[in-house]
Amino acid sequence: MNLSYHTIDLELEHPFRISRSVTKIKKNVIVNIDEGIGEAAPSAYYNETSDTVIESLEKSKDELGDDPFQIESVLSNLNKKIRGSFSAKAGIDIALHDLAGKRLGVPLYKLFGLNGKIPLVTSYTIGIDTPEKMKEKTREAKDFLIYKVKVGVENDTEMVKAVREATDAKIRVDANAGWAADEAIERIHRLKEYDIEFVEQPIDPEDKEGLRKVKKNVDVPIIIDEHLMTSKDIPKFLGVCDGINIKLAKCGGVREALRMIHVARAHNLLIMIGCMIESSVSITAAAHIASLVDFLDLDGNLLLANDPYVGVKLEKGKLYLSDLPGLGVMPKEV
Ligand SMILES: [Mg+2]
């Protein structure tokens, strides 16, 4: 099989601020394997860039073989050859699944034995800004039924209050490890006044004792995202959280995401599927397995001013997959 790639500059509608960083343009890599398409969404937090992705893609070229149905062995060989570089592996995994679906003439969800209907709605992320601007952004995005508010900064109680003033919808928060344990407990108690559904990554994921303390002292679910990459990481967080956030770019693609879902279910963990800043290619790939989880945060493409692709359709927060073979993603006609 023939692998090629090109980078895409994804422009954010608004600069996207979280507790540790701001993004204005995100450079992702589109991966093509024969007629299959995938996307690598590297994250600087995990020491990945478009350059490290390209390096890994070059190393992968000789491992692909010529049978698009040998996905398991191709990916396991790649894992032996390349350490980390999960977003590059996700790009390859997504392209191989798209290719297999196209060759068989079936949408990806059918390959996985799913019916393609997604009963959940996705949250829409409100990045860190002034409380006034966050209120305005919430009002602008009034069609959503769940908002995910980025917190983990000094005045975040005011920020959540402002979002609450703009909507009666569900609010979940993500601190991106911006708090310390005692601070998190105090902050979460205050945020409860605004009726929050769960808290993602309150503190440093390596501070297991801190996490245990937070979980013990608050009664909203705690979801782990940072440093929870693949199924092998799940045991490290047992007992210190209520759920996990799976992202294709963190775990290496759809195949590993499915494995994580099964491992998490076996441990009675809540499961969320999230995303990086990414185009409709990766978002659609995640949507194909979205019916298996409890919470969706698949809005990476909605935050873009220039998504080059169309795939899963969105209406009032609900995601609708087509019955096209493979991912069902096309270049956007301009
Ligand atoms: Mg997160």
> Hunting for tokens 């047992």 — which residue is that?
238
Residue 32's pLDDT is 98
Q: How many structural domains compose the chain?
A: 2
Among residues 56, 80, 105, the one where a domain terminates is 105
Mean pLDDT of 247-274: 98
Query: How far, in Å, is the centroid of ligand 1 from the Cα of 60?
Result: 29
The pLDDT of residue 16: 93
**Based on the domain organization, do 95 and 225 belong to the same domain?**
no
Q: How far is the CA of 173 from the centre of ligand 1 (A)?
A: 9
Whether residues 56 and 71 share a domain: the answer is yes
pLDDT score of 333: 87
Cβ(293)–Cβ(246) below 8 Å:
yes
Q: Mean pLDDT over residues 223-236, rounded?
A: 98
Cα 8 vs. chain centroid, distance in angstroms?
A: 18
68 C-alpha to ligand 1 centroid (Å) = 32
**Are both 30 and 161 inside the same structural domain?**
no
Does 182 share its domain with 301?
yes
Q: Give 324 Cα–ligand 1 centroid separation in angstroms.
A: 31
The pLDDT value given to residue 50: 98
Are 130 and 94 contained in the same domain? no
Domain boundary pick from 48, 79, 105: 105
Using alpha carbons, list the distances in angstroms from residue 131 to 137, 155, 164, 171.
10, 9, 11, 15
Positive or negative torsion for Cα 93, 98, 289, 19: positive
pLDDT, tens digit (0-9, with 9 covering 90-100), for 33-44: 999 999 999 999
Around Cβ 4, how many Cβ atoms within 10 Å? 12
CA dist 92 → 97, 202, 249 (Å): 9, 32, 11
C-alpha of residue 270 to centroid of ligand 1, in Å: 14
Residue 334: its pLDDT value, please? 74
In the sheet that holds 3-18, the strands lie side by side as: 3-18, 21-33, 36-40
Q: Are residues 256 and 163 in the same domain?
A: yes
- Rounded distance, CA 244 to CA 237, Å? 9
Spatial contact of 287 and 306, defined as CB atoms under 8 Å apart? no
Pairing verdict, β 146-150 and 124-126: parallel
pLDDT at 152: 96
Cα of 261 vs centre of ligand 1, distance in Å, is 17
pLDDT value for 217: 98
- pLDDT over 90, % of the chain: 99
Q: Is the pLDDT score of 89 beyond 90?
A: yes
pLDDT at 231 over 90: yes
Q: What is the pLDDT of residues 188-209, one digit of tens each?
A: 999 999 999 999 999 999 999 9
Of 105, 120, 142, which residue is a domain's last?
A: 105
CA distance 284 to 50: 21
**Cα of 81 to ligand 1 centre, how many Å?**
29
| Judgement on whether residues 203 and 114 belong to the same structural domain of the protein | yes
The pLDDT value recorded for residue 18 is: 93
**Alpha carbon of 44 to ligand 1 centroid (Å):** 14
pLDDT of residue 71: 97
The answer to whether residues 75 and 171 belong to one domain is no
Is residue 243 located within the same domain as residue 145? yes
Q: What is the mean pLDDT of residues 47-55?
A: 98
Range of the domain at 137: 110-331
Residue 235 has pLDDT above 80, yes or no: yes
Same domain, 222 and 101: no
- Mean pLDDT, to the nearest integer, of 203-231? 98
Question: Is there a single domain that holds both residue 266 and residue 181?
Answer: yes
> Looking at the structure, do residues 99 and 198 belong to the same domain, yes or no?
no
| pLDDT band at residue 128 under the 50/70/90 scheme | very high
- Residue 225 CA to ligand 1 centre (angstroms): 5
